[in-house]
Structure 1
Amino acid sequence: MRNLKRVVLAVFLLLVILIVLAFVLENQQSVSLLFLGWSGPELPVSVIIVLALLMGMLIGPLLGWLVTRLMRSSRKQLI
């Protein structure tokens, strides 16, 4: 049973890696983003999307932590 879980995990990880690799290879067109008047450097679409994903993975938990911390402090003030 333990080996089966390892095999399933390994197959799943390989599948994810192959999907990401296919995505990166299919999205090599260079684009420049314009946001609030700021123009970014020309980068492949895949790089921009991966960077946005990583930023979301950092900002999401940070905001969740901040909200829970603010809620705890407001509860303490009510008591």
Structure 2
Amino acid sequence: MRNLKRILISILILLLLLGVLAFVLENQQSISLLFFGWAGPQLPVSMLIILALLIGMLIGPLLAWAVRRVRKVSRKHLIRTPEIER
């Protein structure tokens, strides 16, 4: 059973790599992005899309962590601790 899982995972990884390779080979046209008057360097379309994906994969978890942290801090302020009677 363990070997079957390894084989299936290996096949899925190979299919993913083949898909990425096909995407990169089909999108070799060089373009330059223009953003607020700033022109970027000439790069293939596939490289720009992969860079955008990687940046998103970094920013997404950072934003989720920040939101969790803010919620955790706000919960601490909402919870009142009972005062000790003397």
Q: TM-score, normalised by structure 1?
A: 0.98
| Runs ≥4 residues deviating over 6 A | none
RMSD: 0.5
Which runs of 5 or more residues in structure 2 are unaligned? 80-86
Residue 12 in structure 1 maps to residue 21 in structure 2: no
Give the secondary structure class of the aligned counterpart of 1:15. Answer: helix
Report the count of equivalent residues. Answer: 79
- Which residues of 2 match residues 1-79 of structure 1 at below 5 A? 1-79=1-79
Identity of aligned residues (%): 67
Between structure 1 and structure 2, the one with the greater Rg is 2
- Find the residue that maps to 1:4 and give its secondary structure: helix
Give the TM-score normalised by the residue count of structure 2.
0.90
Q: Provide structure 1 residue ranges, at least 5 long, that are not aligned to the other structure.
A: none
Higher helix share: 1
